[in-house]
Amino acid sequence: MPPRVTLSLLTCPSGKPLAKKIVKKLSPKTKNGVKLIDSTQTIFANTEIKNSINQSIRGRDVYIVQDVENHSEGMSVDENLRSLYTTIDACRRCDARRITVVLPSYPYARQDKQDGREGITAARVAWELEGEMGADHIITVDLHNSAIQGFFRRAKIDNLRGGYVLIPYLRNLIKNPEETTIMPTDLGGAKRANYFAQSLCTDIAFAYKERSYSKANCVEKIEILGEIKGKDIIIVDDMIDTGGTLIRAIEKAKEKGARSIHTVCTLALLNGQAIENFSKLYEEGILNSVVGTDATYHSKEMIKENKWFKEISIDDYLAEVIFRINRGRSIGELLS
């Protein structure tokens, strides 16, 4: 099926590592190949951000790649988000036919409901992304809460599954499904854990956490429901931030007699002391590996220095989704 309109790929600076990978996978799928649209970002002395597009995109089907969790350019989540907004606005003013934002890590996804006198910032992000003249389509991966899709009134949103690339890796990792147990870090991840367990034909256990809300990223204790003694445990989650919850789950699983422990997530943010803490668990023989994707950026040096970390690429997955959307084809099988 021919493309509906010419496909163009554009990136903000923090999205460039992933965008370059997508281009390599996407080009062979198209007749004339795909190149990144030339663009320039300027940061002024007062920290204002301006993005300029240096070639015509009039009438094109534009895909903007942004990794808000990539801080290698010295930009925070908020600055990366502002960079994305200015790029969307530039595309709209350059008369792009359709604008799709490829945003694997949805910012403020954990601020998805109100608890006391606070905002629902995940909803605010949705409103600002689509706006009256904003993006037409959002592609993201493993939303922290799928209900966030309901915050979009006008734009179409596709929530891809990290399991699409992680499960094939785990099939090769698992030696004996009958001796393997999938476990989420909390009961909120039960649906995801069940999806992995059914796909891999393994047992499932559950971790229950009691969280202290006196400060951010603090969990008081973890308990495990289910028999895991002598089992190979795979702990699954959507993201690892500082890793506080996950580390307690790993320690509790080892205490309960787990034979080996691997952890799997889509968004390995690894903030704070996460790398140091996982390195310590690995050196002590408690943790076998942490498996993440390049939905968020990890430097070559970080991957090389930390033998416990394994990165799986979602570049081909995203390239296929973009290709099918551009040609008006279904992506249903890529979401199941």
User: Which residues are known to be catalytic?
Assistant: 209
- In whole angstroms, what is the distance from residue 209 CA to residue 186 CA? 6
CA nearest neighbour of 288 among 255, 254, 314, 257? 254
Facing residues of 267 across strands?
239
Which residues, in sequence order, are CB contacts of 284 under 8 Å at separation 6+? Answer: none
- From the number of C-beta atoms within 10 Å of its C-beta (0-12, 13-18, 19+), residue 283 rates as exposed
Which residues, in sequence order, are CB contacts of 155 under 8 Å at separation 6+? Answer: 126, 129, 130, 134, 135, 136, 137, 138
- From the number of C-beta atoms within 10 Å of its C-beta (0-12, 13-18, 19+), residue 107 rates as buried
Task: Report whether 133 contacts 139 (CB < 8 A).
Answer: no
Is the torsion defined by CA of 146, 199, 174, 302 positive or negative? negative
Pairing relationship of beta strands 61-65 and 7-11 according to DSSP bridges: parallel
